[in-house]
Structure 1
Amino acid sequence: MTLTEHYTKAAAQLCLTQPSLSNAISSLENELGVALFEKHGRNVALSKYGREFLPYVEKALAELEQGADKIKESASNAQGVINVGFIYTLSSHFIPELISGYRKVEQKPNIRFALQEGTTQDECTADLIVRLKTGKIDLVFASLVPKDSDVEFVPICEQKLVVLLPYDNPLAQNNEIDLKDLEPYPLIHYSGKPGLKREINRQYAKVNLIPKVCCEVGDDVSMAGLVAAKIGIAIVPENPTFRNFDIKILPIGNPKYKRIIYFGYMKNRQETLPIQKFKKYVIDSFKEFTEQAL
């Protein structure tokens, strides 16, 4: 904006009426207790105090302009980022395949995904939902969901538990596993996933067994490696990665178990277009399961 010493021209540059500009200047002069301008016919000129005040005004305007540019840049970058939170059992195949499928359909190379894994006492819920509600993540995939009127949870798929066995285990010849038949075999259990560990213990309790834990590890890929080394057996959520190990993977016939995965998002939050499109893609992809579950 160019410097002018004419009220009408200045008002036009500022998209204001002349009376509004005059009132604003008068208010500022009253606040400072000095006259910033002196009249010279139809024009005005900066007074002694106006010239002294001008560098501070210019500096303030420059700071505001720099701040506005920074905010615009941040907003532009944020519009291309989708922050997704999820429980760790979805990290190795579910989330990667979902993002890959979305990229093929949308074909937007500028869209970035910022992925956050949940690791709390209840496997995800408390931590991930807090992050969702505070805006640190935009969308969440969870298995344990709280009753929260601010968050919409949509059932999208089912994750099964399977038993990992060495090939020379007698039960490896079966088509499915009855957990009561696992009594003689040592269990490789979870150490860092209390929610899932507790759920497996519940399944044992349903057949009146207490697992004979031989060791505990933090992730199921390590568990699969230990099973392949014939350290014990393991019960884990189904994962295609296990097919890379020399082990037998069997479904559990008894007791029946169903673990629903939910897709969560804030009900009344304003979302960027990329978030809206990815959310629609997820909901449409699992629409058939959702309709059956509801």
Structure 2
Amino acid sequence: MNLSHLQYFRELAQVQHYTKAAHNLFISQPTLSHSIAALEDELGVKLFEKNGRTVKLTDDGALFAQYVERSLDALEDGIGELEKRKGRLSGTVRLGAIHSVRSAFLPEAVLAYRRTHGNLVELKIDQGSTKELLDYLHTGENDLAITSEVKADGFVFTPLFRQRLVIIVHEGHPFASRSSISVSELADMPVYTYREDIIVGTEVSEFLESHGLDLAKMNLNRDSDDEVILGGIVSRAPVVGLALDSSGLYPFRNLKLIPLEEPTGSIPQPTTSLNSCSALRIIFTIMTIPKTPT
């Protein structure tokens, strides 16, 4: 059974006239008659019966016509979808993202991608910590990830954008009126910041030590995994927080974000719309596992 026979059958079933069907199909009437006879022989049933100068479907033919119609429609739909994909990207991309990019950077990136490339590529987005996302890349659960840059074998890191470290306080805190704060002022006061055993927490420790602060002598409260927890704590108490300027802080309307005075050195400006001006920047990257050389 070939596709042409099914197309010929559908046309004849619709017009119920050999001459008209052959004309519509741009074939000769003998070719159509031969094709229908071959189809009936293959199926072992009569599909049409004569009705004067026309033909009509038998009961078996009417039943078969329903399935042929659905099958050819589905096939034409499939061909149409493939035509849409010609010269365009398609498939599924599994993307992992840490919390601090999910409210601002990632939505903007997805919208920009859709505007440029359409919706033929399906995006499946997972969230997690940098360590979890590295594990997802190793196991193949994700194709790429947006995360903090770390020292990890087997990965390619591409800088994407940078985030500044800022002081956060409640709007009623004495610091709230300040335009900037020196990191040295944190030495003798309680400071809430990230857990030491996560990547951003390690970066914070290195930043503080690089400016002469002794972590053992500081009053550091290191209970937080991300900016949402830090923002929630600082928004409820007259305390000082040290956090990345990320969208995780945006829901807390009573917070004041204050830049640090210390320069960061010769760090290139990122090609993003995010502010990139002072203190520590955690570099977010797109990471992919490189192919093994052959």
TM-score scaled by length of structure 2:
0.54
* Gap runs ≥5 in structure 1: 2-75, 270-294
Could you say which structure has the larger radius of gyration? 2
Distance 2:142 2:284 in 1: 18
Q: 1:198 to 1:224 in 2, by over 3 A?
A: same
Q: 1:259 to 1:88 in 2, by over 3 A?
A: same
Aligned to 1:208: 213
Aligned to 2:140: 135
Checking the alignment, whether the CA contact within 8 Å between 2:100 and 2:247 is kept in structure 1 is no
Checking the alignment, whether the CA contact within 8 Å between 2:148 and 2:284 is kept in structure 1 is yes
Aligned to 1:195: 199
Q: 1:214 to 1:128 in 2, by over 3 A?
A: closer
- Quick check: 1:221 aligned with 2:244? no
Q: Which amino acid aligns with 2:260?
A: I
Distance 1:192 1:180 in 2: 20
- Quick check: 1:105 aligned with 2:110? no
Measure how far apart 1:138 and its partner are: 0.8
Checking the alignment, whether the CA contact within 8 Å between 1:203 and 1:255 is kept in structure 2 is no
Q: Of 158, 163, 166, which residue of structure 1 is paired with 2:170?
A: 166
Instruction: Compute the RMSD of aligned alpha carbons.
Output: 3.0
Checking the alignment, whether the CA contact within 8 Å between 1:92 and 1:241 is kept in structure 2 is yes
Checking the alignment, whether the CA contact within 8 Å between 1:180 and 1:209 is kept in structure 2 is no
Of 178-187 and 236-245, deviating more is 236-245
Checking the alignment, whether the CA contact within 8 Å between 1:81 and 1:111 is kept in structure 2 is yes
Identity score, percent: 22
Give secondary structure in 2 for the equivalent of 1:102.
helix
Q: 1:264 to 1:217 in 2, by over 3 A?
A: closer
Q: What do the CA deviations read for 1:87-146 (whole angstroms, capped 9, x no partner)?
A: 3322232222211221222221x5332222232xxxx1x543342243211112232233
Q: How does 1:69-148 map to 2 (within 5 A)?
A: 80-108=91-119, 110-119=120-129, 124=130, 126-146=131-151, 148=153
More helix by share: 1
Checking the alignment, whether the CA contact within 8 Å between 1:81 and 1:112 is kept in structure 2 is yes
* Gap runs ≥5 in structure 2: 2-81, 83-89, 265-279
Checking the alignment, whether the CA contact within 8 Å between 2:146 and 2:287 is kept in structure 1 is yes
Q: 1:243 to 1:141 in 2, by over 3 A?
A: closer
Give secondary structure in 2 for the equivalent of 1:254.
coil
Distance 2:103 2:234 in 1: 19
TM-score scaled by length of structure 1:
0.54
Distance 2:224 2:282 in 1: 22
Q: Which amino acid aligns with 1:264?
A: M
Distance 1:268 1:202 in 2: 33
Aligned to 2:241: 234
